[in-house]
């Protein structure tokens, strides 16, 4: 190996009990049988130490992709490759994980094998959009690595203005709160848009995230253009025996202070006989009481999803949360799932045609107004979409009567 770079600052990150990524890099530098990997790790450590010293990054972008795709690789070229030669091309391969991030150890080892053949030996489980990030491969090996893992079932995720890799929570696999088949929603949506994942041709990125309930363990509302959250619309299930058990264990006061008082809509009453009454009309499925008393309380049977559209972070009009566009949608039959996919298509199509360059769905909605957006995608308004009706009288009401009529007709039809 060439000169071993000194890393006094990074060495500080080997101290302390938390697993050290620097120690991992050093293992690759010092212990790996493949010299290419040793050198790459050494070079990477050198460049990173240089960043720590100067407090600056030294990577720049470029264009790298695999044959047939326009996205999925984050190209990185070193600006200090003269000194840190072995890591001068250090691209990331974004690979879509299985829905729910389940793995067998066998499969992980197989992926390690392929990656050690071509890449740096560094893998991130997972990036914030959910991809497995194989970090550090040169341009030539990018294609080879991809070809090899693509053969045994792995495909690239998104990058650039395209549909991005989706995320879904553990959910039905190991969680009693789950009101949805997260796996199926995730797969159906992602695999309907495979083309849009691989070939960036949209105004900007579009992200799906699926959480099985309002706890939103995927931060879907805040982080995705289309957030799908499980919920139910019949009555919550109350096991009164377990309610009593819980009270016996924790005390009445504990239940009052931590359960009934914390309900955002005062929908819970602890009765004198230690039974719990739920005002199901006012329960907004926030999940709090179920979280605290998960043995006693469970979601109802009439399950489905709430869909929020338009979440994203700061650029360029400030953070946006997704907002309710579909208060409730059943997902049971084949047709239900098909119509979910169609709904996503309608949104993406409309946005593809009407979004400005670099404009996310949320920003587009902000620009054209939620009412126009709903009109465009053919969704009827519903008071569940709002915190409260308009506070400003600055509005054209020419069509009031016609719109009122629509409401009455829908009510009649229902």
Q: Does 104 bind a copy of itself (CB under 8 A)?
A: no
Structure tokens at 134: 């194989």
Query: 43 is in the binding site of which of other proteins, ligand SF4, ligand SRM, none (Cβ under 5 to 8 A by kind)?
Result: none
Distance (Å, rounded) from C-alpha 100 to C-alpha 91?
Answer: 25
Q: Which does 94 bind (CB under 5 to 8 A by kind): a copy of itself, ligand SRM, ligand SF4, none?
A: ligand SRM
Dist CA 126 CA 288 (whole Å): 28
For the purposes of burial, counting CB atoms within 10 Å of the CB of 350, is it exposed (0-12), middle (13-18) or buried (19 or more)?
middle
The structure tokens listed for 149 are 């893992």
Structure tokens at 156: 């690239």
Residue 261 contacts which entry, a copy of itself, ligand SRM, other proteins, none (Cβ below 5-8 A, type-dependent): a copy of itself
- Give yes or no for residue 327 binding ligand SRM (CB under 6 A): no
Residue 374 near other proteins by CB under 8 A = yes
- Contact with ligand SRM (CB under 6 A) among 223, 268, 304, 365: 223
Q: With H, G, I as helix, E, B as strand and everything else as coil, classify residue 328.
A: strand
> Which CB atom, from 211 or from 351, has the smaller least distance to other proteins?
211
CA dist., res. 237 & res. 4, Å (int): 64
Is residue 61 close enough to count as binding ligand SRM by CB under 6 A? yes
- Return d(Cα 383, Cα 305) in angstroms, integer: 17
- Which tokens belong to 223? 């982080």
Binding positions for ligand SF4, 29-88, rule CB under 6 A = none
Shortest spacing between CB 386 and a copy of itself, in angstroms: 17
* Nearest approach, Cβ of residue 275 and a copy of itself (Å): 17
Residue 391 interacts with a copy of itself (CB under 8 A): yes or no: yes
Cis ω for the linkage preceding 126 (within 30 of 0): yes
DSSP 314-344: STTT--B--EEEEEEE---SHHHHHHHHHHH
Entry field: residues in the chain:
414
- Region of 212-220, 225-233, 314-322, 346-354 interacting with a copy of itself (CB under 8 A): 314-322
Cβ-based neighbour number of residue 212 at 10 Å: 30
> Which of other proteins, a copy of itself, ligand SF4, none binds 28 (CB below 5-8 Å, type-dependent)?
other proteins
**What residue spans of 128-251 are helical by DSSP H?**
139-151, 182-192, 194-198, 220-223, 240-250
Toward a copy of itself, which CB reaches closer, 150 or 261? 261
Question: From the CB of 210, what's the least distance to ligand SRM, in Å?
Answer: 10
193-232 binders of ligand SF4 (CB under 6 A): 211-213, 215-217
Measured at the alpha carbon of residue 310, what is the angle toward residues 359 and 186, in degrees to the nearest 5? 110
Give Cα 331 to chain centroid, integer Å.
20
221 binds other proteins (CB under 8 A): yes
Q: CB of residue 231 vs ligand SF4: minimum separation in angstroms?
A: 10
Hey, what are 43's tokens? Answer: 């070079």
Q: Which residues bind ligand SRM (CB under 6 A)?
A: 61, 74, 92, 94, 126-131, 133, 157, 165, 169-170, 174-177, 205, 207, 215-217, 219, 223, 291, 312-315, 360
User: Which residues would be at the binding site for a copy of itself (CB under 8 A)?
Assistant: 261, 266, 314, 318-319, 391-394
């Amino acid at each position: 190996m060439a000169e071993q770079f000194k890393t006094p600052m990074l060495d500080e990150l080997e101290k302390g009990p938390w697993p050290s990524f620097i120690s991992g890099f050093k293992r690759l530098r010092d212990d790996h049988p493949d010299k290419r990997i040793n050198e790459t790790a050494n070079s990477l450590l050198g460049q990173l130490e240089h960043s720590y010293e100067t407090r600056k990054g030294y990577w720049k972008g470029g264009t790298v992709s695999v044959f047939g795709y326009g996205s999925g690789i984050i190209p990185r070229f070193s600006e200090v490759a003269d000194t840190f030669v072995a890591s001068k091309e250090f691209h990331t391969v974004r690979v879509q994980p299985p829905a729910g991030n389940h793995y067998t150890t066998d499969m992980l080892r197989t992926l390690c094998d392929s990656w050690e053949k071509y890449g740096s030996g560094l893998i991130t489980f997972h990036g914030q959009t959910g991809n497995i990030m194989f970090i550090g491969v040169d341009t030539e090996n990018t294609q080879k690595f991809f070809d090899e893992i693509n053969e045994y079932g792995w495909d690239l995720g998104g990058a650039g203005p395209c549909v991005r890799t989706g995320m879904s929570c553990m959910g039905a696999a190991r969680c009693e709160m789950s009101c949805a088949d997260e796996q199926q929603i995730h797969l159906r949506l992602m695999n309907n848009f495979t083309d849009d994942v691989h070939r960036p041709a949209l105004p900007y990125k579009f992200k799906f995230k699926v959480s099985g309930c309002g706890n939103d363990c995927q931060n879907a509302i805040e982080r995705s253009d289309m957030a799908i959250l499980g919920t139910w619309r019949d009555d919550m299930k109350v096991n009164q025996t377990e309610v009593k058990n819980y009270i016996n264990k924790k005390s009445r006061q504990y239940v009052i202070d931590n359960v009934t008082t914390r309900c955002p809509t005062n929908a819970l009453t602890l009765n004198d006989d230690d039974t719990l009454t739920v005002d199901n009309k006012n329960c907004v499925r926030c999940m709090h009481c179920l979280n605290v008393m998960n043995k006693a309380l469970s979601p109802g049977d009439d399950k489905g999803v709430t869909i929020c559209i338009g979440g994203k972070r700061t650029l360029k009009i400030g953070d946006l949360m997704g907002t309710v566009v579909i208060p409730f949608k059943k997902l049971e039959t084949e047709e239900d799932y098909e119509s979910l996919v169609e709904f996503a298509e309608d949104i993406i199509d409309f946005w593809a045609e009407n979004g400005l360059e670099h404009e996310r769905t949320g920003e587009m909605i902000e620009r054209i107004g939620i009412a126009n957006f709903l009109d465009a995608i053919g969704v009827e308004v519903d008071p569940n979409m709002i915190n409260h009706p308009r506070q400003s009288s600055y509005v054209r009401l020419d069509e009031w009567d016609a719109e009122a009529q629509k409401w009455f007709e829908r009510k009649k039809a229902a």
